[in-house]
């Protein structure tokens, strides 16, 4: 089988993920692996797509190989997928799969992104391999890689693949309107930022932005990342891990900290493209890595204005909600232009105002807690290199390792001993449940006392 490997890593041949491909190439010599370093050569491919077209058209199967960046694939791979579609390369009925390496931080959303785009292009998608960065160096990791490829070959032989259930896009944009009324004096005591990549002043997204800014009682400013001279996507070089400065000399790290992160709230506005926010926005997201894994905007409310068939984009919904939860940002809502556009925008504006004025927050759910625990363990292990992250995690008390909670562990041993003793349980009756509720009863008693004291 002729397999074209789309290496989405900006590191090219130095990609950790690509080493799994090299391993499989040695294990399965009867198959041909042709590597296109799409992530590294993306600017050249923008000028001339001939090489990529030839490799894609000759392939029996396409293998996407890339590290997970910010919930999804690197921005360079996003751009490559855009180019494939723009150049109308026919990939229908070709088999497709993927290999990623990461610390399993939302690798599920990255895989779903590639799957959705492969199905868009009529490909026969087969579930990929999500590996840890060091897996290939262990016997188990190598066996897992071989099992993945054996399953892939079996799937091709038996013609077993994911079938697209995508329905026709029923999205019919309803243009938002800007009320023809005097907006009055805008409040200026909050720094509200609308971050967009829109370049079409007649687009529905622009009308949505205009209405939101009109409805919101606070003065807002716009930052258009399409106009910022980004030198390129994140290279994954880790130079910023120690210096906190990006290897690029385009000033983005300073721009991010001074113009973006000092805002009191951010509303992101984009048109849905290829099941994501588009390559330019993804480049902006990836370049945020100069901030490492530090939740420096924790407590900042965020919102989204999206143009497109948002209700059908289940994976994008997960990305938006999960990134808010992981970052400790209250998600004020997502307004789309599918239906009731004006109402959606007004609701977002009202919610954002409430959250700003009441300083409203909410505890993290599974997406936030689970994501931060992965980061906690990762940064602790890499603290010698990720110095800025390590310092931040120590200061914020994020190193909440369970082995440190010795008293809680001791209590659980005692509870376990009680639960294993039937005679003791029968004598205790409801005492254990009452004991568990005792701290709450103490809280309520204190509240009642304070209430009675105020009445007097």
Give the model confidence (pLDDT) of 233-259 as tens digits. 999 998 888 888 899 999 999 999 999
Whole-model pTM: value is 0.82
- Give me the DSSP letters along 347-413: HHHHHHHHHHHHT------HHHHHHHHHHHHHHHHTTTT-HHHHHHHHHHT----GGG-HHHHHHHH
The CATH class that applies to domain 187-367 reads alpha beta
List, for residues 163-204, the tens digit of each pLDDT value: 765 555 555 556 667 776 555 688 999 999 999 999 999 899
Between the alpha carbon of residue 153 and those of residues 126, 136, 307, the distances in Å are 10, 20, 40
Tokens encoding 284: 């902006």
Are both 2-158 and 187-367 of the same fold? yes
> Is 68 in contact with 100 (CB distance < 8 Å)?
yes
User: How far apart (Å, rounded) are the C-alpha atoms in residues 236 and 11?
Assistant: 7
Residue 354 has pLDDT above 90, yes or no: no
Residue ranges per structural domain of the chain: 2-158, 187-367, 405-455
Alpha helices in 177-248 (DSSP H): 204-215, 240-243
pLDDT in tens, 109-164: 999 999 999 999 999 999 999 999 889 999 999 999 999 999 999 999 988 888 76
Q: How confident is the model at residue 316 (pLDDT cuts 50, 70, 90)?
A: very high
Q: Are 252 and 290 in contact (CB under 8 A)?
A: yes
pLDDT score at 56? 98
3-state secondary structure of 5: strand
pLDDT at 440: 82
Alpha helices in 41-163 (DSSP H): 42-47, 50-58, 75-86, 107-120, 139-158
Q: If we measure between CA atoms, which residue out of 63, 76, 70, 71 comes closest to residue 8?
A: 76
Asked if pLDDT for residue 318 goes beyond 70, the answer is yes
Most confident region among 12-16, 179-183, 417-421 by mean pLDDT: 12-16
Q: Please tell me the predicted confidence (pLDDT) of residue 182.
A: 58
The C-alpha atoms of residue 455 and residue 255 are separated, in whole angstroms, by 54
- Which CATH code of 3.40.50.980, 3.40.50.300, 3.40.50.360, 3.30.70.1150 fits the domain covering 2-158? 3.40.50.360
Give the lowest-confidence range in 2-11, 56-65, 437-446: 437-446
């Amino acid at each position: 089988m002729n397999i074209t490997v789309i290496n989405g890593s900006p590191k090219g041949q130095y990609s950790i993920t690509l080493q799994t491909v090299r391993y499989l190439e040695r294990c399965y010599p009867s198959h041909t692996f042709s590597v296109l370093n799409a992530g590294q050569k993306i600017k050249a491919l923008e000028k001339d797509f001939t090489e990529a077209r030839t490799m894609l058209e000759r392939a029996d199967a396409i293998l996407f190989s890339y590290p997970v960046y910010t919930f999804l694939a690197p921005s360079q791979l996003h751009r490559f997928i855009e180019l494939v579609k723009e150049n109308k390369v026919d990939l229908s009925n070709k088999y497709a799969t993927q290999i990623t390496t990461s610390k399993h931080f939302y690798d599920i959303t990255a895989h779903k992104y590639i799957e959705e785009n492969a199905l868009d292009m009529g490909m026969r998608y087969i579930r990929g391999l999500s590996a840890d960065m060091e897996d290939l160096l262990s016997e188990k990791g190598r066996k897992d890689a071989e099992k993945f490829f054996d399953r892939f070959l079996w799937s091709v032989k038996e013609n077993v693949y994911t079938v697209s259930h995508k329905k026709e896009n029923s999205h019919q944009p309803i243009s938002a309107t800007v009320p023809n009324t005097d907006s009055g004096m805008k409040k200026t005591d909050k720094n509200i930022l609308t971050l967009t990549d829109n370049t079409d002043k007649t687009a529905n997204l622009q009308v949505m932005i205009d209405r939101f800014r009109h409805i919101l009682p606070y003065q807002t400013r716009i930052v258009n990342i399409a106009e910022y001279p980004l030198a390129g996507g994140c290279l994954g070089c880790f130079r910023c891990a120690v210096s906190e400065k990006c290897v690029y000399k385009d000033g983005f790290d300073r721009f991010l900290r001074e113009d973006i992160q000092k805002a009191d709230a951010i509303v992101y506005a984009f048109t849905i493209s290829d099941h994501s926010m588009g390559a330019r926005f993804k480049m902006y997201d990836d370049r945020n890595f100069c901030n490492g894994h530090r939740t420096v905007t924790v407590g900042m409310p965020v919102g989204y204005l999206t143009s497109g068939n948002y209700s059908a984009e289940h994976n994008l919904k997960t990305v938006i909600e999960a990134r808010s939860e992981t970052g400790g940002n209250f998600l004020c809502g997502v307004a789309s232009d599918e239906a009731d556009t004006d109402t959606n925008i007004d609701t977002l504006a009202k919610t954002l105002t409430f959250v700003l004025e009441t300083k409203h927050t909410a505890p993290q759910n599974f997406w936030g807690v689970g994501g931060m625990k992965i980061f906690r363990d990762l940064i602790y292990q890499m603290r010698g290199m990720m110095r800025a992250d390590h310092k931040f995690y120590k200061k914020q008390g994020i190193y909440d390792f369970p082995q440190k909670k010795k008293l809680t562990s001791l209590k659980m041993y005692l509870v376990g001993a009680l639960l294993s003793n039937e005679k003791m349980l029968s004598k205790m009756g409801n005492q254990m449940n009452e004991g568990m509720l005792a701290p709450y009863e103490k809280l309520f008693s204190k509240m009642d006392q304070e209430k009675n004291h105020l009445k007097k």
